[in-house]
Every structure is written in structure tokens, then in C-alpha cells.
Amino acid sequence: MIDLKEARKLALSLPESSEEDHWGRPSFRVKKKIFLTLWPAEKRAVVKLSTVDQSVFCDYNAAVFYPVPGAWGKQGWTNIELQKVRKDMFKDALNLSWQSVAPKSLLKKEASIK
């Protein structure tokens, strides 16, 4: 289980991430591109995954990970039920989401540090 405070902390710990309002909800971005949106009232998060990664997470547990309805979901946007997700799984999805929108130059820089 992940609470909103911890989700926010994890998102902001990623390189060059920032928090901005997105239609009344907190969104987390790298270089102005959203990789996480929190839905506080629903205790849900939405991340951007590749369609392959989305499929893997959804196959793992469809009660925890499931595509956003419609065209957004077909593009990889994926709901995460925060009250049901394990912390390690949330972190994996969050990292993949950050990587999916981060500029290649930043990915190379981060890869060289590790």
C-alpha cells in the first residue's frame, strides 16, 4: 500500500522531477512531460507506460493495475490503485513511467551515474 504522501515523495525523488497542478490534481513531470498524476479522492495514481509494460503490470494484477478507459489507455496510461499496490511494484511502474517521458540526454546521464 502506498499513501498519497509517499507517492508524492517517490515521484519528487526522481531526477529533475517537479510537481504542477493538472486540472485540479497533482501531476509530476520531467522537462514538462507528465509521468504521474495523483487522484486523491479516488486514492489512485495514473502513470504513462509503454503498451508492453502496461500489459505486463495489468496481467500481474488487474485489480491493482488497469488501463485508463478509452484512447488514453491505448496509449499506455495506466491506473494504479494505491491502497492495493505493493511499494516495490509502485516504484517499478513509477520508474518506467519517468523513463518513458524523460529526454534521452537525461536518461544517458542517469545511466552513466549508476
Structural domain boundaries in the chain: 4-102
Cα angle for residues 86, 59, 36 (degrees, 5° grid): 55
User: What is the model's pTM?
Assistant: 0.92
Instruction: State residue 113's pLDDT score.
Output: 43
105-114 per-position pLDDT tens digit: 888 877 654 4
Task: Write out the DSSP string of 65-106.
Answer: EEEPTTHHHHTTEEEEETTT--HHHHHHHHHHHHHHHS-HHH
Fold of 4-102: Aspartate Aminotransferase, domain 1 (3.90.1150)
Q: Quote the percentage of the chain above a pLDDT of 70.
A: 96
Bigger pLDDT: 67 or 113? Answer: 67
Instruction: State residue 105's pLDDT score.
Output: 87
- Confidence band of 72 (pLDDT split at 50, 70, 90): very high
Locate 110 and state its grid cell. 542517469
